[in-house]
Structure 1
Amino acid sequence: MSKQQPQLSFWQIWNVSFGFLGVQFGFALQNANVSRILSDLGADLHSLSLFWLVAPIMGLIVQPIVGSASDRTWNRLGRRKPFILAGAVAAALGMYLMPNAPLFVAFMAPMLFGALMLALMDASFNVCFQPFRALVSDMVPPKQRNIGYSVQSLLINIGAVVGSILPFVLTNVVGLENTAKAGQVAPSVMWAFYIGASVLLGSVLWTVFRTKEYAPQDYAAYKGLSVQEATPSLQRAPLLTRLSGFFALVASMPKTMKQLAVVQFFSWFALFIMWVYTMPAITQHIWEVETQWFDPAYLSGLEVVPAHILAAKGAAGDWVGILFAAYSLFAAFFSVVLARMADRFGRKTIYAGALFLGGISYISFLFFQNPTQVEVDLLITQVTVPQGAVNLMIPMIGVGIAWAAILAMPYAMLAGALPADKTGVYMGIFNFTIAAPQIVSGLFSGWILSSVFDNQAIYIVLLAGGAMLLGAVSVFFVQEHEPAVE
């Protein structure tokens, strides 16, 4: 027998998602700095996208497994919280170790160790991500779903702002060095990862201790299920049986989920390119550092890299953090009004419009090349950077609006189409629509950059813009579904 699920206060919704702030803090540090770290450790532009394949592959493997397991887990800590906590601990470990890759040179090449720590962090972030998505679906009633995912998007972007800007702050306010010799990691980046790991653990512990998940019988009643449906057997079926059941779920996924998969493909194909290639793109296009300075073979033939090249790379790497913080900040602002706009104008209209702005913004990168040095007051410090770098703040508005919508709208549109007893596993399967386009992008974007664009990274960003525009068009083919019983 079903009963009305209680409405949550704003602060209850806040506590449910607060741990995501720390998870995204760590994820933002990774997104803004891993290309920089791997380049310093010896990776070339072509191979960068291949290293970044670790992230979507980990998501592809981990999230469906964790989603299915969390659907079947009920213990004193909760249903989703055990996985969130375990993932946070493992992610923090990877964040503490990755910047110290050169210390492990006796055991393996620093670049290989860095790649392994990237895999550990990504696997762990994914262990956190999926249960957090499902936790909102579990705890927040349907009428509050827009606000629930919008609050989650807001917290994600607050974490992303601070995480992205942290290395810049540690350099320009605290005074840590932001340049690195070959095979080393800049001190500002190392300490940013240490701080990020600590914030991640603290925020996740807040959610774990401040959120009480529903007991099985209450959850079953709120979702219109029997207790048996809400608490499936924990006995492990034979592997073939489990695989057969999994593929049956994939084959029978709701139509809304299939249609959203097309939108997700174009969106995440573009995002992957941005995370991997923004640093080399603006270093070349704005700081006018030639492509040869990203070629390990060329660098290995030099006795020393000129100081002005190291300084330009360090400054550009720091500015990537500022740009990523900017789009996350704009996303956070947009998240505040996102739910109301979706309620008034419809999710599809807002989602498509946001992706359109994101696509135009990527394409506009090409038109902001201006090497004139200007002094910029960032409130916390003053820096001198090219005017073109400052102008890139404009397209970050559109990128931020697109990012806020990507974080919230697909899940708000999808949640009403999923059966309550399989929300976790379907949210995990839905991660395929995030991982697959990144894998495709990782396999081909490096080849396209070297073979088609002659390692001029700005042009791969334009390709990302075209993909985002196709995503905007695809939104209008999605048919939404809401449950008949509230």
Structure 2
Amino acid sequence: MVTDKPRLSFWQIWNMCFGFLGIQFAFALQNANVSRIFQTLGADMDLIPILWIAGPVTGLIVQPIVGHFSDKTWTRMGRRRPYFLYGALVTSLALIAMPNSPYLWFAAAMLWIMDAAINVSMQPFRALVGDNLPKAQQPTGFAVQSFFIGVGAVVASMLPWLLALYGVSNEAAPGEIPDTVRYAFYFGAVVLFLAVGWTVLRTREYTPEQLAAFEQAQQKTVVPEKPRSAERWFRGAVTWFLPAAIGTAVIAFWQLDAQLYILSISVLVFALMQLYVGLRRRAGKDHNGTDVVMADLYAMPQPMKRLALVQFFSWFSLFAMWIYTTAAVTSVHYGTMDTSSAAYNEGANWVGMLFAGYNGFSALAALVIPLMVARIGIRFSHAFNLLLGAAGLASIMVIEDPLWLMLSMVGIGFAWASILSLPYAMLAGCLPANKMGVFMGIFNLFLVIPQLLAASVLGVLLRLGFNNEPIYAMLIGAVSFALAALCMLAMKQPESVPAPQAA
């Protein structure tokens, strides 16, 4: 009698994760070049964090919804694969349109569309590992995903620099995107669609009935949470509404920075969602997707709750790095903020190389981290890697030669690989199969919320405390990484998690 899912071969795991190569290709092109595109199209430094809000907001909305509906989906293409394919198609089209943006508002709209489509493809990939692999191989699956993330991001981040090296024009008239960036985005669109298509064609999925049988054979029981009453939802709505309303009023009365509205309005929306669920509960209406996602948010397994703060501080750091590294390096190490100058575009291309570097180091780290986990345990491994990330960001402030900034990327690469694999390995095996997608989506909220907060307060912090100098965003990120490491060390030892092992 089979009591667990059959082990998959190395090449089956490879095919299942290969689509992440394309997804990260698009993600890396976005991270390394979108601030450059915004600045080229005339965005002031204060406006860039607001424009970047597309990522966290779309992730906040899309990931739990896609997770919920992919849990309920079963077609001839399977459960998760339809979302891979259609998300990749829309992302590819957005990649082609983005570098041809005639106006700043058009580029911002393309970023929203691109982020939403990337999330549609990316979120079910995490759930697919839980669906297809037995518990002992799940950390291996996440490690292979991390490897592809690193490889895809290396090539994507290097593309503008490589194209310039081979004679493609890296300069353009004011307000126009250089050919190096445009051709890199076109190439990324092709790579994304082909990589995701490979996974769609070469991977099979278990039916919902098969997954249920595996859980039953393992005698897994899920203790049902006591449903939240309508009154509890109303109390939650009031609890969140009051600080949101007071905060919005304070921002308006004192004419504080408009970016702070992002935070207050986000809290207000969360309060209204709880009011909505409470009203539906009181009326005795059937549960819809919003009801289910909100209820599951309050019914998270304990490992997810323990990791919330770790994820919060980790992704706050990453978002600070993605938004401000281009401005920090070009202004400090290349001495210019003139987006039409040769020095600025040279520095921006070097930032792409630096991003390629940390992703390359993360691909190597994905091979080292399993050994680290086997030696010192998953909790200390993750904390150590986060501290390496803190050291890497902090060193950007003191290194003068831009070439030596590649050394900073070693620590950031180890932190990135760890963030992409170890938190998911800690969750391996604790999520029920029929809720794998929605819980993975909810878990990813802890990646999104800190990005939303960063978009709200980073610009304010730099202006009020650091004379609006973007280099100090690296310091803020380093402190946040260190706080994430401390939170990780303060956690209770998680349940035994198998180290990634060979297929």
Common topology (TM > 0.5)? yes
Partner residue of 2:329? 282
1:382-410 CA distance string (max 9 Å, x none): xxxxxx11110111000000000000011
The two structures, once aligned, show a CA RMSD in angstroms of 2.0
Partner residue of 1:472? 485
Partner residue of 1:301? none
The 1-side partners of 2:217 and 2:298 are apart by 23
Structure 2 residue 300 is matched with structure 1 residue 269: no
The 2-side partners of 1:182 and 1:321 are apart by 21
Which blocks of at least 5 consecutive residues in structure 1 are unaligned? 103-109, 231-236, 295-304, 370-387
1:265-313 CA distance string (max 9 Å, x none): 1000000010110001011111122x6x47xxxxxxxxxx6xxxx1111
Structure 2 residue 105 is matched with structure 1 residue 112: yes
The 2-side partners of 1:262 and 1:195 are apart by 37
Aligned length: 434
Partner residue of 2:155? 162
1:408-433 CA distance string (max 9 Å, x none): 01111122322222111000011110
Partner residue of 1:208? 200
Deviation at 1:167, TM superposition (A): 0.7
Partner residue of 1:412? 425
Q: Which amino acid aligns with 2:142?
A: Y
Partner residue of 2:118? 125
Structure 2 residue 34 is matched with structure 1 residue 34: yes
* Dislocated runs of 4+, deviation >6 Å: none
Moved more, 238-247 or 211-220: 238-247
1:124-157 CA distance string (max 9 Å, x none): 1101111000011111111112211101100111
The 1-side partners of 2:89 and 2:21 are apart by 15
Partner residue of 2:178? 186
Is residue 417–residue 481 contact of structure 1 (8 Å, CA) maintained in 2?
no
The 1-side partners of 2:163 and 2:497 are apart by 49
User: 1:482/1:138 Cα in 2 relative to 1: closer, same or farther (>3 Å)?
Assistant: farther
The 2-side partners of 1:242 and 1:391 are apart by 50
Deviation at 1:248, TM superposition (A): 1.9
The 2-side partners of 1:474 and 1:23 are apart by 30
Deviation at 1:483, TM superposition (A): 9.4
The 1-side partners of 2:371 and 2:134 are apart by 17
1:3-34 CA distance string (max 9 Å, x none): 22111111111111000000100110000000
Partner residue of 2:451? 438
Other structure's SS at 2:402 match: helix
Partner residue of 1:355? 386
Q: Which amino acid aligns with 1:180?
A: A
Structure 2 residue 249 is matched with structure 1 residue 218: no
Partner residue of 1:424? 437
The 2-side partners of 1:98 and 1:225 are apart by 49
Other structure's SS at 1:184 match: coil
Other structure's SS at 2:452 match: helix
Aligned match for 2:495, one of 447, 459, 481? 481
The 2-side partners of 1:8 and 1:313 are apart by 48
User: 1:282/1:11 Cα in 2 relative to 1: closer, same or farther (>3 Å)?
Assistant: same
Other structure's SS at 2:396 match: helix
Deviation at 1:336, TM superposition (A): 1.3
User: 1:87/1:241 Cα in 2 relative to 1: closer, same or farther (>3 Å)?
Assistant: closer
The 2-side partners of 1:74 and 1:225 are apart by 22
The 2-side partners of 1:22 and 1:245 are apart by 31
Partner residue of 2:416? 403
Is residue 426–residue 497 contact of structure 2 (8 Å, CA) maintained in 1?
no
Deviation at 1:214, TM superposition (A): 1.3
Structure 2 residue 256 is matched with structure 1 residue 256: no
Q: Which amino acid aligns with 1:97?
A: A
Moved more, 474-483 or 456-465: 474-483
Deviation at 1:96, TM superposition (A): 0.6
Is residue 90–residue 117 contact of structure 2 (8 Å, CA) maintained in 1?
yes
The 2-side partners of 1:76 and 1:419 are apart by 23
Q: Which amino acid aligns with 1:115?
A: A
Deviation at 1:454, TM superposition (A): 1.5
The 2-side partners of 1:352 and 1:468 are apart by 9
Identical pairs, percent:
45
Is residue 357–residue 398 contact of structure 1 (8 Å, CA) maintained in 2?
yes
The 1-side partners of 2:41 and 2:95 are apart by 16
Moved more, 76-85 or 416-425: 416-425
Partner residue of 2:270? none
The 2-side partners of 1:249 and 1:200 are apart by 32
User: 1:124/1:241 Cα in 2 relative to 1: closer, same or farther (>3 Å)?
Assistant: closer
Partner residue of 1:300? none
User: 1:483/1:152 Cα in 2 relative to 1: closer, same or farther (>3 Å)?
Assistant: closer
User: 1:483/1:404 Cα in 2 relative to 1: closer, same or farther (>3 Å)?
Assistant: closer
Is residue 25–residue 199 contact of structure 1 (8 Å, CA) maintained in 2?
yes
The 2-side partners of 1:416 and 1:243 are apart by 25
User: 1:122/1:241 Cα in 2 relative to 1: closer, same or farther (>3 Å)?
Assistant: closer
Q: Within 5 Å, give how 1:65-104 maps onto structure 2.
A: 65-102=65-102
Partner residue of 2:464? 451
Q: Within 5 Å, give how 1:317-328 maps onto structure 2.
A: 317-328=348-359
User: 1:248/1:183 Cα in 2 relative to 1: closer, same or farther (>3 Å)?
Assistant: same
Partner residue of 2:233? none
The 2-side partners of 1:158 and 1:344 are apart by 26
Other structure's SS at 2:490 match: coil
Moved more, 349-358 or 448-457: 448-457
Q: Which amino acid aligns with 1:203?
A: A
Q: Which amino acid aligns with 1:404?
A: A
Partner residue of 2:374? 343
The 2-side partners of 1:316 and 1:483 are apart by 42
Other structure's SS at 1:476 match: helix
Partner residue of 1:21? 21
The 2-side partners of 1:80 and 1:238 are apart by 29
1:172-193 CA distance string (max 9 Å, x none): 12x1111232221111100000
Deviation at 1:467, TM superposition (A): 0.3
Is residue 389–residue 411 contact of structure 2 (8 Å, CA) maintained in 1?
yes
The 2-side partners of 1:225 and 1:80 are apart by 23
Other structure's SS at 1:176 match: coil
Which blocks of at least 5 consecutive residues in structure 2 are unaligned? 223-283, 499-503
Is residue 425–residue 497 contact of structure 2 (8 Å, CA) maintained in 1?
no
Q: Which amino acid aligns with 1:133?
A: R
Partner residue of 2:191? 199
Q: Which amino acid aligns with 1:397?
A: V
TM-score (norm 1): 0.86
Is residue 158–residue 329 contact of structure 1 (8 Å, CA) maintained in 2?
yes
Partner residue of 1:47? 47
Q: Within 5 Å, give how 1:288-327 maps onto structure 2.
A: 288-289=335-336, 293=338, 310-327=341-358
The 2-side partners of 1:264 and 1:239 are apart by 33
Q: Which amino acid aligns with 2:495?
A: H
